Amino acid sequence: MTQPIATLLVLGASGDLTSRLLLPALGQLLTEQHVRRLRLVGAGSDDLTPAEWRAIVVKSFATAEASGACVDHLVATTVYRRADVTRPEEMQGLLALCEGAPAVYFALPQAVTGLVCDALAELELPGGTQLALEKPFGFDEDSAVRLNASLARLVPEECIHRIDHFLGRSTVFNLLGFRFANRIFEPLWNNDHIERVDIVYDEQLGLEGRAGYYDRAGALVDMIQSHLLQVLAVLAMEPPSTLEAADLRDAKGIVLRATRVRGGSPRRSSRRARYGAGVVAARPVPAYVDEPGVDPANDTETLAEVTFEINNWRWAGVPFTLRSGKALSARRREIVVTFKPVPHLPVGLIGHEEPTVLRIFLGPDELSLELNLNGPGDPHVLERVSLGAVFGPGQLLAYGEVLEGVLDSDPALSVRGDVAEQCWRIVAPVLAAWRAGKPALEEYAAGTTGPSGWSGLGWSRLRDEAGRLAASNRSGREQHGNRSRACGFGPDGDRGGCPRQGGRLGGAFAAKLGLLAAQDAGQGRGDLRRLESVEDDVAVVDAAGNEGPLALFADEFGELAMQQVEDLLVTEFRRGHLNDGCDATSATKHRDPFRVVRL
């Protein structure tokens, strides 16, 4: 039995990753787990006094509202040393500060990680030492092999945690539970019934000061090679016999070994583009090449799309398309599973029959199933409806979940060495083709859906009709006694206008919300507006009937973080947490007061 980890040694403790992500996650973990006693040892290049280091820890913990005896113990006992962690003697001194076998967290650039491994190879590490590393794991397959060899000199593979915070414990187990605990889906989870699978991670954020890393990596390496291929593996793997680390990681490795670029042709199966100047959520965004720290000669893509195939019995012939991009018009984080159409539609049914579509949303984890059902009135007419559900949310942040695995010596959520190598092997043909200029790098304006001619990946008619529905809602209310079928509430808030309570009709949620601005810069803002949520998009309608995205009204609410507001409203509505007078200000941790009320 492995002894519990009593010390977390963070290399690169004075860096942004530690204060912004690692320490808040640690504070939340200690708050939730009242019996975990941990010593924190920090090492970095900055010359920090004990008081300065403790202040960093306290400030980071405060962002996670961390509290309790375990938090107090860590704050009181934490130490920091300025150190050159590439020197064996200085690493030996840091290990001497640890109690028992430590978990060593490499919050370091990739180039430094290899040098630290060389230094540790000259030392005798305590038995049970755990090593945790941030991506990227190498910069190609050969470098990943070399890194794995360096790590293997230090500790066994089961003590190495290659961190992928994108797939926290709750997300992985939500996907596994959905697949393997529901007989209705698993028999259909194959090429006999599934037409295609799309995994999309689109962001509205631009570069946001990450040029140092991103300009060398691009969207393909930053997201597809690492995070999205891990999602593919969990989605497509065979059922593991248990949820133990060995069985889970074996199943992921098997499916990734069968994965390759579709048709073996990166030119036909991949696309890439880079954003130009534009406007995202009412914010002007400069062209990528004009961002500070960017080298235009690198031809770095900010939008990447690659279609893969899995050469096994279950998935042969099913395209898996992975896409990720920055500075796009809307945020999309979802898995879209499109089923094959029915073999024959009985004569007499009227309407545009579409394939069944399953959407699994990532962060927060939710799902919707889009079906064809007989509509109200004429029973021969098919209508598109969506059934939704919310997965059980995890107690911890994603970083907290993976950190818990490190401290518990459980590598189930980490990326195994051979899997890291496979991910580089899978994308290697694409990287080579792109370096040769095939296909050409396209451009798109920031704030758009991508280059002209790119189809909306996984974008169903439900979503395509969102704009049309927003425009027709007013006339629809007039035709149906001032009740909105799309929104499902009558003028007094009753549900009489919704023929299917709780469903999303025509792509709109069955609700109306109001956004009420309070005092802003000393001026009263008492206008009540209707907020309509259409899938992941949010629109505002003012008293004059003017419609537009929430961001267009940003000037009326002060300098709000509009993306945070949108995420909050959509998430809280889906979970049914919105009540009259809901205090959204504290939830978004923003200085501008506003609240959400039902109409």
296 three-state secondary structure: helix
Torsional class of 555: left (φ above 0), alpha (ψ -120 to 50), beta (otherwise): alpha
The residue whose two tokens read 């995420």 is 567
Give the separation between CA 429 and CA 123, rounded to whole angstroms: 39
Determine contact, residues 367/356, Cβ cutoff 8 Å.
no
- Would you tell me the crossing angle of helices 398-407 and 169-180 to the nearest 10 degrees? 90
Give the separation between CA 40 and CA 457, rounded to whole angstroms: 45
40 three-state secondary structure: strand
Determine contact, residues 82/44, Cβ cutoff 8 Å.
yes
- Would you tell me the crossing angle of helices 417-435 and 141-152 to the nearest 10 degrees? 160
- State yes or no: is 34 an active-site residue: no
Residue 454 token pair: 């790119």
Alpha helix positions (H), 64-185: 69-77, 88-96, 110-121, 141-152, 169-180
Residues 6+ apart with CB under 8 A from 306: 220, 224, 261, 266, 269, 270, 321, 322, 323, 427, 430
Determine contact, residues 570/581, Cβ cutoff 8 Å.
no
Give the separation between CA 63 and CA 433, rounded to whole angstroms: 44
| DSSP 8-state code for residue 348 | T
Give the separation between CA 323 and CA 454, rounded to whole angstroms: 12
Nearest to 434 by CA among 233, 219, 236, 270: 270
- Count the Cβ atoms, other than its own, within 10 Å of residue 97: 16
Residue 90 token pair: 């200085």
Determine contact, residues 419/249, Cβ cutoff 8 Å.
yes
Give the separation between CA 118 and CA 122, rounded to whole angstroms: 7
List the beta strands (DSSP E) in 518-590: 528-534, 537-541, 547-549
Q: How many CA atoms lie within 13 A of 294 on its CB side?
A: 21
Cis peptide before 136 (omega within 30 of 0): yes
- Count the Cβ atoms, other than its own, within 10 Å of residue 337: 25
Name the catalytic one among 34, 73, 165, 227.
Answer: 227
Return the exposure string of 30-68: e unless at least 16 CB atoms fall within 10 Å of the residue's CB, then b: bbebeebebbbbbbbeeebeeeebbebbeebbeebebee
| DSSP 8-state code for residue 476 | H
Q: How many CA atoms lie within 13 A of 102 on its CB side?
A: 22
Give the separation between CA 266 and CA 224, rounded to whole angstroms: 14
* Catalytic (active-site) positions: 227
